[in-house]
Structure 1
Amino acid sequence: MIPFTDEELEPAVMNVIDKVRPSIKLDGGDIALIAIKDGRVFVQLQGACVGCGSSGTTIKFGVERQMQTLIHPEITVVNVPAGFEDKLDQL
């Protein structure tokens, strides 16, 4: 169990997103924080990352691994497809 509230996680999560953003932008994409719920971080890959075959790898081995290393090992990161921003409970 993650010993932080979702509100306490937000600054640390944003810090990690800011660290990975430059490498994502190199490929013509971007990343946005959608929400944090019960230690699950919902992000949305944008730009050239939408529909890219490597987007799952970017989320799991780039963003999630960084958050697990720098914040807490139980954090999970979920990519939110366009149109699902209000349907996080379905992801």
Structure 2
Amino acid sequence: MTDLLVAVAMAVPDPGGAEAPPGSEGLLAILRWVQWVALGVCLAGLMAAGAAMAIGARRGEGGEHMGRLGMVLGGVVVIAGATSLVSFLATA
């Protein structure tokens, strides 16, 4: 098993430095814009879920909206994780 891991590690090319490749600034700027837009959409979704929970609480349906709230928070976690991973890989 360790021989396989060593072979895979040897097959991965070394980029030859710790900086991002030339011309990647534009891509990183686009990714930052996409991150902020996506997080803004998630924030709007959280507000909509909160409003639906408040309206539903008056009718006795408050618990049905917890699934929607969980989906929105899951989306925030995926967006934050993806952007962290991309920025780590781009600067490493």
TM over 0.5: no
Between 1 and 2, higher relative CO (CA 8 Å, sep ≥ 6) is seen in 2
TM-score by length of 2: 0.29
Query: Rg larger in 1 or in 2?
Result: 2
Which has the larger share of strand?
Answer: 1
Structure with a larger share of its residues in helix: 2
TM-score of the two chains, using structure 1 as the length reference: 0.29
